[in-house]
Amino acid sequence: MTVEIAQSEESKRVTTGVAATVLRSLVDIGAAIKALFRASRPASVGTRSETAAGETERVVISQAPADAEIAADAGISPIDHSELSQQEIERRRSLVRAWFNDFWRGTQDKPAGFVARLDQAEDYLNERLKAHGEVWQLDARTRLRLGLPPRSS
């Protein structure tokens, strides 16, 4: 009778381990699909967007075996913000464009030039970026990276 109980317990452990592995794999596949869709189209204005570095780090960590130990400095380094991919630049530009248009929608008395409008909308844009979890702000350096004109004064 004790041999049967021991085999039953071992069988439960194996089944639990297999189920955990399958579930972990499904989560990994879901994260990869989500990252693929997020990379193929700009983030929706109404949703909180994440940086590519955060998404990559989560996928790398989730692919590690459950019993593996991951050191804090395990080769995951932050993205050098001076080297943005074209895709990330386009994503950021579309966020700025959408929120810029929101800022000026319905306003009749607008400055004539784009630079003056962008200057007036900058604080609003930075508030929206912060509220949606973006780690970057619209400043002189970011304007240059995104191909936007510098401040007028």
Which tens digit of pLDDT belongs to each residue from 92-151? 999 999 999 999 998 889 999 999 999 999 999 999 999 999 999 999 999 999 999 999
142 and 94 belong to one structural domain: yes
92 and 57, same domain (yes or no): no
Whether 124 is covered by a domain: the verdict is: yes
Q: Are residues 101 and 137 in the same domain?
A: yes
Residue 137, C-beta contacts closer than 8 angstroms, at least 6 positions apart: 126, 129, 130
- What is the rounded end-to-end Cα distance, in angstroms, of the chain? 87
Q: Is residue 151 part of a domain?
A: no
Task: Provide the strand spans (E) within the chain.
Answer: none
Residue 41 lies in a domain: yes
Number of domain units in the chain? 2
Q: pLDDT class for 153, splitting at 50, 70, 90?
A: confident
Share of the chain above pLDDT 90, in %: 40
> What pLDDT, on a 0 to 100 scale, did the predictor assign at position 70?
42
Q: Do 12 and 65 meet the contact criterion of CB atoms below 8 Å apart? A: no
| pTM of the predicted model over 0.85 | no
DSSP secondary-structure letter at 42? Answer: P
- Residues 6 or more apart whose Cβ sits within 8 Å of residue 56: 35
Question: Domain range spanning residue 25?
Answer: 2-62
